Structure 1
Amino acid sequence: IIQSTKSICPECKARIDADYVEEDGNVYMVKECDKHGQFKDLVAIDKDWFKWIQKFKMDSDAKRICPEKGIKEGCPYDCGICANHKSAPAIIIMDVTYRCNLKCPICFANANVNPHLEKIEPTYNEIVRVFDHFSKIKPQRALVSFFSGGEPTLRDDLPELIAETVKMGYIHPQVATNGIRFAKDIDYLKRCVDAGMKVIYLQFDGVTPEPYIKTRGADIFHLKEKVIENCRKIGFYGGVLLIPTVVKDVNDHQVGAILDYAIENNDIVVGVFYQPVALCGRIEEKERLNLRITSSHVAKALQEHTNGEIGVMYPLTAISHFAKIIGWTATNNQVVEFTCNPICGFGNFLFVEEKADGTKEITGTHRVFDTQKFMKKSRKWYNILKERRYGERPHIFKSLLGGLGSLGESIGEGLDTIYNKVDDTVIKARMGLDMMSTMKLEGLLGKSKFFMDMVLNSRWDASANFVQSEGAGAMIVALMHFQDEYNFDTERVSRCLVHYGWIDPRDNKVNGVPFCAMNTLHREKIEDVLFTYHSIEEEEEEEIEAEPEAPKIETN
C-alpha cells in the first residue's frame, strides 16, 4: 500500500475505503463495497513517478472563510462548497447552455442527448450573478472565468458575458468550444476576443479526420484548422489551447502528432492539455483495465516522441510557491493558488525556436532552468514574502515621531507607507535577480528579458507574455486526468481548484461544485432540481395566462 484514501462504490455511490497499491511496477486503486464487492483500477504505469509526485503536496493559505454549505454527510456529498474544502477556487465554470451542434459520445454534460436540458439554460443575469459571487469570496477570489456547456458559442450574447466578467476583475476568461462557430463566423470570434477572451480551450482530438468521427460523430478536423487560421487573421496570437481527449486505440497513437501540430502553429497555439478519457457506466474490470489510459501513459508517449526533451512531467503543485510570490507581489494582488492534489495535473514547458530554414526546434525547460534550484529559490522567497504579508510590518517613522502627538503620528504613518513601498520594490528586485540565477546560460541568452519582466512587473499578463510573446516561445504541455467513479478520490476532490457555479432554486443561493464531483456524482441531481423548478415555474405562468378575465359589470 502506497497511501490510503476514501472513494465511492461505482454501483451504489456509497463512501468506502480505498488504497493506492503497487503491483508489478504499476499503481492501482483498490476498494471494496460491502454490497457490490471489490473494484480495481489502474492509476499509473510508473510507481516511482507516482511516489515522487506526492512530495509536492502543498496546503492552501486561503481556505474559504464563508463556505456555501455546512457539513452533513461529509465528502463528497456536501458539495456547495462545504466547510471541509481545503483550497480556494481559482477557476469558475458555468455551463452557459446545454444546446450543442454535436453529439459527442464522450460528453460530460450529455449535451444534445437529454432534450429537457435546453429548458434549464441559465439566463444572462443568472450567469452574471454566479461569476460575481465568486469574484467576491474571501479570503481569495477566483480569477479565471470559464464558459462551458453544451457549446457556449451557440449563445449570441457570449461576448457580452465575457465582458461582464472582465469588469468583475477576472483576468483570464476562457471558452471551451468545439470551434465550429469560431471557424465559420470570424466576426463572432473577433467579438469574443475584443470582449476580453484570453483563451480558446479548443477540443482537438487528432490531426486526421478519423479520431473525430469516433469521438465526436463527425469529421470536423478541417474546422479546427480553420479556427487557427481565423485567429491568425485577426491577430489573436498565443490564445489557443489544444485539448485532446485521449482514448485508447482511437487517438492515443496521435499524442506526438498533436504536439507537432501545436509546435508548427506556436504563434497561435500556446499549449496542449491532454485529457485521458474518464470511463463512465458499468464496465467489467478486465475490459476497463484494457481501456484505461492514464496521464503516465501520455507522459511516456511524449517522452518517446521528443526523445526526452520534454523532461519530467511535474505536478501542477510544483509551481505553487512561485505562483504565490508572483500573485503576492502583483500591483493588484492577483493571487492564484495551485494547491490541488498532486495526482490531478502535470506539465512542463517547451521552448520553440524557428530556424533560418523555417523548421522548428524545441528545447526542454531543464536546459533553460536548473529546475531543482528554481523550486528551492521559489520556496525561499515564498517564506520571506509570507512573513512580510502576514507578519507585522515595521513602523519605524511612527515610532520616531509618535511622541510629537497626533500630527507626528500621522506624518510617521505616511512616511512608513512610503518606506514600505520602496522596500517592496527593493525586495522584488532582489528576488528577481536571485530567481534569475536559476537560469542556465541558454536561458540567460534568450529568455531572461521575459522572465525578469514577469518577476519585476508581477502581473499575470507579464507572466502570460513569458509563455505567449514572440521571442519567448514557451509552450505549456500538460496532462489532466479527470476522475470517474472507478478512481474517485475524496482527497483530490477536497483540494479541487475548478468549480462549477450554479444557483439552487430551492434557496436561491449560489453554489460551487468541484469539477470531478460534479461530473461523477452531482450533475444529474442538480439538473433534475433545475428541471423540476423550471417546470413548476412554467406551469404557474401557464395558469396565470389561462385565468379568465373578470366579467365587466354593466351600470345604467
Structure 2
Amino acid sequence: MPNRPYTYYDLTLSICSVCLRKVEAKIIFENGNVYMVKTCMKHGREKVLISNDIEYYKWCRDFIKPSEMPHQWNTPIKYGCPYDCGLCPDHEQHSCLTLLEITERCNLKCPICYAESSPHKGTYRSMEEIEFMLDAIVANEKEPDIIQISGGEPTIHPHFFDILDLVKTRPVKHIMVNTNGLRIANDKEFVKRLATYLPGFEIYLQFDSFNGDALKELRGVDLTHIRRKAIEHLNEYNISTTLVVTLKKGLNDHEVGDIIRFGTKQKCVRGVTLQPIQSAGRLEDFNPETDRLTLSEVRKMIIEQSQIFGEKDIVPVPCHPDSLAMGYAFKQEESITPLTGMIDPAILLEGDRNTIVFEQDENIRQMIFKLFSLNHSPDSSALSLKDLLCCLPKVNLPGYIGYDNVFRVIIMQFQDAHNFDIRSVKKSCVHIAHPDGRIIPFDTYNLFYRDVLEKELIKIREEILVTR
C-alpha cells in the first residue's frame, strides 16, 4: 500500500487565517519539519511551518506542568476558545506578565507594530482609567509577578511618573517599562529619575539591530545612535535592562549572536528577548509565507551564533512550552557561564536539591545551588527550574550572586492566525489588561480584541449562537 509523504502526529484546533473561524488542524512531521495543516470550507487549505526541529517539538511535551490559575475569572465560557477571552475558566495559566497599556500614541510610526501606534493615533489614558486597569490585574493575581507599562510609547505619557508611583503602591513584584528608548537617550534627567524606582524595576528596551537599514525597515528610521546613547545612560545608572529584538527572517536574524554577546558585555543588561514577528497589527513589507520565523529556528540561531549557549542550554518554559524557551547564564566581568544545561532534565519540574546539578565541579555546584536556593540554611526549600523558568528569575540572595549576575535569553513567539493552536493558546501566560477590566492573552488580544477588531468577533459569536 502507498504511504503518505508525512507522519501524522496529532490533531488540534486552529483558526482560518482569513476569516478567523475555528477549524480542525493536523500536526504532521515531514522532511524533518513540523507543519500545521488546516482546511477552511470557505478559504481552502493552509500548510504552516511551526517547527524545524521535530525532536525539540516533542521535547516540549516533557515540560508541561499543572496549570496555575488566577484568583478570579473575568468572563464566562459561552462561545468557546478563543472567543471568550477575559480570562475565562477554560484558560490554563495565570498572568506571568501583564501589559498595562497607558497610551495608544507613539513618537515613532514603525512599519511593524502589533498595536498600530503612531504620533497621531489615540489618546493618553487617564489616571482613573489606568487605576481601574491596574486594580483589575491585582484582583486577578493578588501579587502580580510582572506588570509591563506599555503603549504606544509609555514614556511620552504626561503623567508617566505618577503612573509608576501608582503601580508602586500595589503589591507588584516587578515593574517593566516597554520603550523604544528615545526619551532615555535624549533626557538624562529622565533616566536619573528612573533609577529611583530600583530595585524591582526594569527597562524593556527595543533593540532590533546594529544595522541602520534594518532599523529603517522595522522602525522607519535609523536608530543606531539612539540605541548607543540609551545603553550608555542605562549603564551609568545600572538600571536593569532587557534588550528586545523583533526578528524578521533574512533581515536581522543573522545578528542574534552579536546582540547576545553585546548584551553580556553591558553592565545594565540582564538578558535578551527574541520575538519573531507576530502577523498582527501594522505589517509593511511582510509576507507571512516567507518572512516568518519559528521558535525552533530562533533557538538554533542562539546555539549556532552566540558561542555561549549549547543544545541543552535553551529549554522550553513550563508555563507555555510551545511559545517560550529560555536559557540562563552566570555573568561575571570577564566570563559568562551557561547554567541551564547543567540541570538534569529529568528533575527540571521536581526541584530535588540533591540532584539538581550533574556538573561535577564543586565550585560550580555551589554557585548553582546558591542561585537556585532561597538561602544557605540546610532546611531551606530549593527553587526548582519550574520557579526560575518564567519571565524573570526569583533571585534575591546574600553574597555575590544576585540579579546583576543572572543573564537570560528568552524566545517569545506569539501566535497569530497562521500558526494559531487553541490547545497551546490556553497556556498563554503573557496577557494584556483591557480598558474594560478583562485580562486577555497577548496572542488573542491582537487578533480579536484590540480596537475595532472586536466588531468582527461579534459576527463570529452571532454565527456560533445561530448554529447551536
Task: Give yes or no for contact 1:242–1:271 (8 Å, CA) kept in 2.
Answer: yes
Question: Which structure has more helix as a fraction of its residues?
Answer: 1
What does residue range 135-284 of structure 1 map to in structure 2 within 5 Å? Answer: 135-137=138-140, 141-196=143-198, 198-236=201-239, 239-265=240-266, 267-280=267-280
- Distance in structure 1 (CA, Å) of the matches to 2:11 and 2:144: 30
Structure 2 partner of 1:495: 427
Cα distance, 1:498–1:462 mapped onto 2, change above 3 Å: closer
Structure 1 partner of 2:291: 291
What does residue range 392-407 of structure 1 map to in structure 2 within 5 Å? Answer: none
Unmatched runs of 5 consecutive residues or more in structure 2: 1-7, 384-391, 457-468
Task: Give yes or no for contact 1:80–1:512 (8 Å, CA) kept in 2.
Answer: yes
| Aligned counterpart in structure 2 of residue 525 of structure 1, from 449, 452, 455 | 452
- Distance in structure 1 (CA, Å) of the matches to 2:19 and 2:398: 47
- Distance in structure 2 (CA, Å) of the matches to 1:298 and 1:343: 13
Task: Give yes or no for contact 1:90–1:498 (8 Å, CA) kept in 2.
Answer: yes
| Aligned counterpart in structure 1 of residue 35 of structure 2, from 9, 25, 28 | 28
Matched, 1:107 2:86: no
- Amino acid paired to 1:154: I
Larger radius of gyration: 1
Cα distance, 1:467–1:89 mapped onto 2, change above 3 Å: farther
Aligned CA RMSD, in angstroms, stands at 3.0
Cα distance, 1:218–1:168 mapped onto 2, change above 3 Å: same
Task: Give yes or no for contact 1:19–1:30 (8 Å, CA) kept in 2.
Answer: yes
Cα distance, 1:162–1:374 mapped onto 2, change above 3 Å: farther
- Distance in structure 2 (CA, Å) of the matches to 1:164 and 1:458: 33
- Distance in structure 2 (CA, Å) of the matches to 1:347 and 1:511: 28
- Distance in structure 1 (CA, Å) of the matches to 2:281 and 2:153: 23
- Distance in structure 1 (CA, Å) of the matches to 2:382 and 2:168: 19
- Distance in structure 2 (CA, Å) of the matches to 1:467 and 1:523: 45
1:318-346 C-alpha deviation (Å, 9 max, x unpaired): xxxxxxxxxxxxxxxxxxxxx23x11100
- Amino acid paired to 1:173: I
Partner of 1:305, secondary structure, is helix
| Aligned counterpart in structure 1 of residue 348 of structure 2, from 375, 389, 396 | 375
Task: Give yes or no for contact 1:309–1:362 (8 Å, CA) kept in 2.
Answer: no
Identity %: 29
Task: Give yes or no for contact 1:111–1:150 (8 Å, CA) kept in 2.
Answer: yes
Matched, 1:483 2:415: yes
Structure 2 partner of 1:130: 133
Partner of 2:90, secondary structure, is coil
- Distance in structure 2 (CA, Å) of the matches to 1:467 and 1:222: 37
- Distance in structure 2 (CA, Å) of the matches to 1:125 and 1:461: 32
Partner of 2:174, secondary structure, is coil
* Count of residue pairs brought into register by the alignment: 433
| Aligned counterpart in structure 1 of residue 438 of structure 2, from 500, 508, 511 | 511
Task: Give yes or no for contact 1:159–1:195 (8 Å, CA) kept in 2.
Answer: no
TM-score, with length taken from structure 2: 0.84
1:145-186 C-alpha deviation (Å, 9 max, x unpaired): 111111000013222212222221101100110000011112
1:417-452 C-alpha deviation (Å, 9 max, x unpaired): xxxxxxxxxxxxxx6xx3666564241364544444
Q: How far apart are residue 471 of structure 1 and its match?
A: 9.8
1:369-419 C-alpha deviation (Å, 9 max, x unpaired): 3433652641x5xxxxxxxxxxxxxxxxxxxxxxxxxxxxxxxxxxxxxxx
1:110-164 C-alpha deviation (Å, 9 max, x unpaired): 0017x4x424x321121122112221336x6432111111100001322221222
Structure 2 partner of 1:350: 329
Cα distance, 1:44–1:466 mapped onto 2, change above 3 Å: farther
Task: Give yes or no for contact 1:208–1:221 (8 Å, CA) kept in 2.
Answer: yes
Cα distance, 1:181–1:124 mapped onto 2, change above 3 Å: same
Matched, 1:314 2:315: yes
Q: How far apart are residue 279 of structure 1 and its match?
A: 2.8
Structure 1 partner of 2:80: 74
Q: How far apart are residue 255 of structure 1 and its match?
A: 1.0
- Distance in structure 2 (CA, Å) of the matches to 1:210 and 1:466: 45
Cα distance, 1:10–1:447 mapped onto 2, change above 3 Å: closer
Partner of 2:289, secondary structure, is helix
- Amino acid paired to 2:293: I
Partner of 2:62, secondary structure, is helix
Task: Give yes or no for contact 1:467–1:474 (8 Å, CA) kept in 2.
Answer: no
- Amino acid paired to 1:166: K
Task: Give yes or no for contact 1:466–1:474 (8 Å, CA) kept in 2.
Answer: no
What does residue range 391-470 of structure 1 map to in structure 2 within 5 Å? Answer: 434=354, 440-441=360-361, 442-444=363-365, 446-453=367-374, 456=380, 463=395
Structure 2 partner of 1:532: none
Cα distance, 1:207–1:124 mapped onto 2, change above 3 Å: same
Cα distance, 1:14–1:495 mapped onto 2, change above 3 Å: same
- Distance in structure 2 (CA, Å) of the matches to 1:213 and 1:350: 32
- Distance in structure 2 (CA, Å) of the matches to 1:51 and 1:178: 36
| Aligned counterpart in structure 2 of residue 118 of structure 1, from 111, 117, 122 | 122
- Distance in structure 1 (CA, Å) of the matches to 2:33 and 2:399: 34
Partner of 1:12, secondary structure, is coil
Task: Give yes or no for contact 1:92–1:131 (8 Å, CA) kept in 2.
Answer: no
- Distance in structure 1 (CA, Å) of the matches to 2:281 and 2:125: 28
289-298 or 436-445, which deviates more: 436-445
Partner of 1:49, secondary structure, is helix
Task: Give yes or no for contact 1:467–1:473 (8 Å, CA) kept in 2.
Answer: no
Q: How far apart are residue 231 of structure 1 and its match?
A: 1.6
Q: How far apart are residue 19 of structure 1 and its match?
A: 1.9
Structure 2 partner of 1:543: none
- Amino acid paired to 1:258: I
1:447-497 C-alpha deviation (Å, 9 max, x unpaired): 544444557598989615699957973310111111111011122222221
